[in-house]
Structure 1
Amino acid sequence: MHSNRCSIRCPHCQERAATMTSRALSPLVREIYFQCMGIECGHRFVAHLGIVRTLVPSMHPRDDVMLPMVERRTNDIIVARTPNTSAPPPGITQPAARQPVPPAFN
């Protein structure tokens, strides 16, 4: 059986690491606390999970979330959509593509 949970290995002993807790740093970045499951290792570490690009735009975009829209790359993992989510319901149109606005630097 395939799990949808993200997994990571300990960088030292390569045993599975379990998520202890996590917290949102922004809408695009999450900090995740891990503990190695290797009894003789016990390493605890922190990782960041970041959303980096858009493959298919959201049907409910937020004004404060700006991600580059990129073409699929040859090494992207493609997950097939179920037939009932592959297209919006009749009468619903896709939102217009928004151009990302770079942040202002002072």
Structure 2
Amino acid sequence: MRFTIACPHCSARGIARAMEKKSETEWEIDFQCDDVTCGHTYRTKLEMYPPEVPIPKRERRSTQAFEFDL
């Protein structure tokens, strides 16, 4: 999936080029304008709302073989 946001200078498509995770619920994304005559680069902030920390993953349980009485 590709993130795109309109360029604030020329309104052309801006494509996400880099993403940096700042915390469990916050990222900074660097965009670059797709119009070569503009070429503007800009940074955006993506934040989950409400800012709750996701539920941590549980460790995988070991599987046990089924026992059948034949």
- TM-score normalised to the size of structure 2? 0.67
Say what the alpha-carbon RMSD is for the aligned residues: 1.9
The percentage of counterpart residues that share the same residue type is 31
Structure 1 residue 52 displacement after superposition: 1.1
- TM-score normalised to the size of structure 1? 0.46
Cα pair 2:16 2:31 within 8 Å, conserved: yes
Q: Point out where structure 1 has 5 or more consecutive residues left out of the alignment.
A: 55-59, 63-106
> How many residues matched?
54
Which structure's CA Rg is the greater one?
Answer: 2
Report SS of the residue matched to 2:28: strand
Whichever structure has more strand as a proportion of its residues is: 2
Report SS of the residue matched to 1:25: strand
Q: Point out where structure 2 has 5 or more consecutive residues left out of the alignment.
A: 57-70
After the TM superposition, list the runs of 4 or more consecutive aligned residues in structure 1 that deviate by more than 3 angstroms: none
Aligned to 1:29: 26
